[in-house]
Amino acid sequence: MKHVARKRFGQNFLTDNHVLGNIIDAIGPRRGEAMVEIGPGLAAMTALLLKELDHMHVVELDRDLVARLEKAYPREKLTIHAGDALKFDFGSIPVPEGQKLRVVGNLPYNISSPLLFHLADFAHLVEDQHFMLQKEVVERMVAEPGTKAYGRLSVMLQWRYDMALLFIVPPTAFDPPPQVDSAIVRMVPTRRQLPADGPTLEAVVQKAFSQRRKVIRNCVAGMFTEQQLLDAGIDPGVRPEAVSLEQYVALANILKPVQ
């Protein structure tokens, strides 16, 4: 029986075999690794990954798709976690000693940003992440200071990850086709993370970008003085998108120094 994609779950199933092959090549799965796929859907990518892996985990919210997966794969090959990825404890997945978790998925566009922030809490347990996302979101993730795409998502994710947009995927690769282009992003937890208190940095960045048309002096008024901005190496007259990750970290450390 054909599964009808559900808008409330943000379902767009990848059907292009050439694109699927390119994604698997980018991931490079190897036997013995611990891998979890978010939103396996109709298992197009799952099936290809399992050709290279001894076993993998998937997190799926749609009960109908969970039932399909249970019928298609034995438990010794596929562990199915039925539930919401936004609430899932990725630290609960067993990982061989000396290894870290690899995370992949065609992420629902309607929850992509909160899901990326949820996953960031587990970055210390992760080897890498390969995701399909709306192209505009990936462009924001990898954006450099001084560009229109640079914002809160850019700063907070670049603080935790080294990221790269690998390639673009057109709407024709999906069923049903979305109304936007998609992109594959690689995210590797950085080994050069700048010392900062996470919640403090988040508060600073959120305050700064809440009024991104204004200059940074006005955006963070009441949180920092003009002299403190200068101490962090920031020109008080620039807009928040002109402030680098390093400078936002410097501001966070003014509020809450990291020992």
- Tell me the pLDDT tens digit for each residue of 20-33: 999 999 999 999 99
d(CA 114, CA 95): 25
Q: Which tokens is 247 given? A: 């400078």
126-134/13-14 β-pairing: unpaired
Domain that holds residue 109: 7-189
Task: Please report whether residue 120 resides in a domain.
Answer: yes
Number of domains in the chain: 2
**Are 49 and 100 in a shared domain?**
yes
How high is the pLDDT of residue 10? 46
d(CA 139, CA 135): 6
How high is the pLDDT of residue 2? 52
How high is the pLDDT of residue 11? 61
- Tell me the pLDDT tens digit for each residue of 171-185: 999 988 988 999 999
Q: Taking all residues of the chain, what is their mean pLDDT, rounded to a whole number?
A: 94
What is the mean pLDDT of the segment spanning 109-130? 95
Count Cα atoms within 13 angstroms, Cβ side, for 257.
Answer: 3
How high is the pLDDT of residue 9? 45
d(CA 176, CA 4): 9
- Tell me the pLDDT tens digit for each residue of 40-53: 999 999 999 999 99
In a 3-state reduction of DSSP, which class is residue 152? Answer: helix
The answer on pLDDT for 13 being more than 90 is no
Residue where one domain finishes, among candidates 140, 165, 189? 189
d(CA 38, CA 98): 23
Task: Please report whether residue 2 resides in a domain.
Answer: no
Banded model confidence at residue 104, pLDDT cuts 50, 70, 90 = very high
d(CA 132, CA 8): 18
Question: In the chain, pLDDT over 90 holds for what percent of residues?
Answer: 89
Q: Which tokens is 178 given? A: 């979305």
What is the mean pLDDT of the segment spanning 208-214? 93
Full DSSP string of 184-251: EEEEEE-SSPPP--HHHHHHHHHHHHTTTTS-HHHHTTTT--HHHHHHTT--TTS-GGGS-HHHHHHH
The answer on pLDDT for 75 being more than 80 is yes
What is the mean pLDDT of the segment spanning 36-63? 96
pTM: 0.92
**Are 66 and 158 in a shared domain?**
yes
Task: Please report whether residue 1 resides in a domain.
Answer: no
What is the mean pLDDT of the segment spanning 90-95? 97
**Are 173 and 236 in a shared domain?**
no
H or E, element range at 56: strand 56-60
**Are 224 and 171 in a shared domain?**
no
Sign of the four-CA dihedral 185, 188, 192, 194 = positive
Do 154 and 143 contact (CB within 8 A), yes or no?
Answer: yes
Full DSSP string of 76-129: TTEEEEES-TTT--GGGS---TT--EEEEEE--GGGHHHHHHHHHTTGGGEEEE
Task: Please report whether residue 179 resides in a domain.
Answer: yes
The answer on pLDDT for 64 being more than 80 is yes
Residue where one domain finishes, among candidates 167, 189, 211? 189
Residue type, 5: A
